[in-house]
Amino acid sequence: MGVTILQQFPMKENRSGAHIIEFLTKRIIALGAKQCGTFLVDCETYASIPQLGVQRTLHVFHNSEQPASVFAILDNGTGKTVPVVADALFDLLLLKMSSVYTSKKSKVEIRGPRFELNDFVIKIGAININHNVKGIIVEAEYRPCVVFGLCWDMLREFLQGFLGSCVSNVPPHYFQNRINDIFQPLDTIQQYLDHITIYRKATGILQQYNTNST
């Protein structure tokens, strides 16, 4: 287990998601990485029924890297979030709670190839919201280290090495207050949630975001 950071890769208008993935894969393999299977992160969102008062949102994540776990992040509407890491039985529990938390029927899936390059694990995934590719996200993990502050520079350099200038020099927003904390698998999920929220908000903003970053 190491430090994982996520990086969006801008979508070009005239290229499909598969194309970009292929393009990045070539670059990674040129660096000497080996493909080790694929990965899948999915997110399902539930909303509490109106009778409960303030609407709460529950995001349930599965990560193929932690196959035995279910991650849940509860947003209670007032800006406070409660993260939970649970057994796979949590899914069954949600079925029982369907009268309180109803699914929003907007499943987000991030899937793509997974590469290993010595101490690094690189995953290139396409974000599918309701089976439409919305963007490309690159996950890079540096396994020997567990503190973000100690390996951010190296990760940045590594990412810039094959992604180019889309990687900014400032640390990601999520890590601003957590530079010296010990990294946990939940942190990866929180980053995914942040990115998914950005994608979900509006495609207009997304395009704006893309044009800004490129």
Partner 1 sequence: MAYSTSVNISIETQAENIIQEISYDGQEIYQPALSMSDNLSKLAQKIDFSKVDEDCEEPEVEIKSEEESKEQPPNVPISGWIDSVVSKLKRAATEICVISDVLAVTKEKRYMILDPIPTESIETKPMAQIYLRKKALASASTIIMSAVDRLRSSQNEFMRNRTTPDFHIELLRLRQNWRLKKVSTAIIGDLSYKTAGSKFGQSGMFEVTKAEDDIQSTSGISSSSPSTSPSHNMSISKAPSALRVTVPTELQGVSYIMVLCQKDQENIFNTSFNLLGSAPATPNPDMHWQQKLEAAQNVLFCKELFNQLAKEAVQLQATIPHMVVGNQISATVFPGIQLIIGLCHSSTNGNPNTILPSKTDHDHVLEHSLHQLLREVHHRNTHQPFPHPSSGPLGPSKRRAVAGPNAADRFELLEMSKTHTLLEQIIEQAQHFFMRLRTEYVIDTLAKEVKDPIIISHWNSLNSPTQACVKVTIVSHGFDCICRNSLVVHVMKKSLKCICRDGRVMYLSYEPQELRDLIFCQIYQHQIMGVQSVAKTQGWQCLASSSHLGLGPVEPMGNASSCLLASPIGDRLISVKCEPQGNVSVSIAHSPKKDFFGGQLVKERKWENLGGSFKKVRWDKMEGKNFLNKIELLMASLTNST
Residue numbers at the binding site for partner 1 (CB under 8 A): 1, 64-71, 85-89, 184-186
Q: How far is 158 from 64, CA to CA, in rounded Å?
A: 23
* Nearer to partner 1 (CB atom), residue 55 or residue 81: 81
Q: How far is the CB of 101 from partner 1 (least distance, A)?
A: 19
* Nearer to partner 1 (CB atom), residue 88 or residue 205: 88
Q: How far is the CB of 88 from partner 1 (least distance, A)?
A: 6
Cα 172 to Cα 7, 52, 155, 167, 178, distances in angstroms: 9, 35, 12, 10, 10
* Nearer to partner 1 (CB atom), residue 20 or residue 110: 110
Cα 65 to Cα 71, 124, 172, 183, 197, distances in angstroms: 12, 14, 22, 15, 21
Q: How far is 98 from 103, CA to CA, in rounded Å?
A: 8
Sign of CA dihedral 47, 188, 152, 154: negative
Q: How far is the CB of 92 from partner 1 (least distance, A)?
A: 8
Q: How far is the CB of 186 from partner 1 (least distance, A)?
A: 7
Q: How far is the CB of 191 from partner 1 (least distance, A)?
A: 14
Sign of CA dihedral 163, 10, 105, 78: positive
Strands 108-117 and 34-48 turn out to be antiparallel
Q: How far is the CB of 48 from partner 1 (least distance, A)?
A: 23
* Nearer to partner 1 (CB atom), residue 31 or residue 85: 85
Q: H-type helices in the chain, by residue range?
A: 17-31, 89-96, 148-163, 185-201, 203-213
Cβ atoms 8, 195 nearer than 8 A: yes
* Nearer to partner 1 (CB atom), residue 171 or residue 185: 185
* Nearer to partner 1 (CB atom), residue 38 or residue 214: 38
Cβ atoms 190, 174 nearer than 8 A: yes
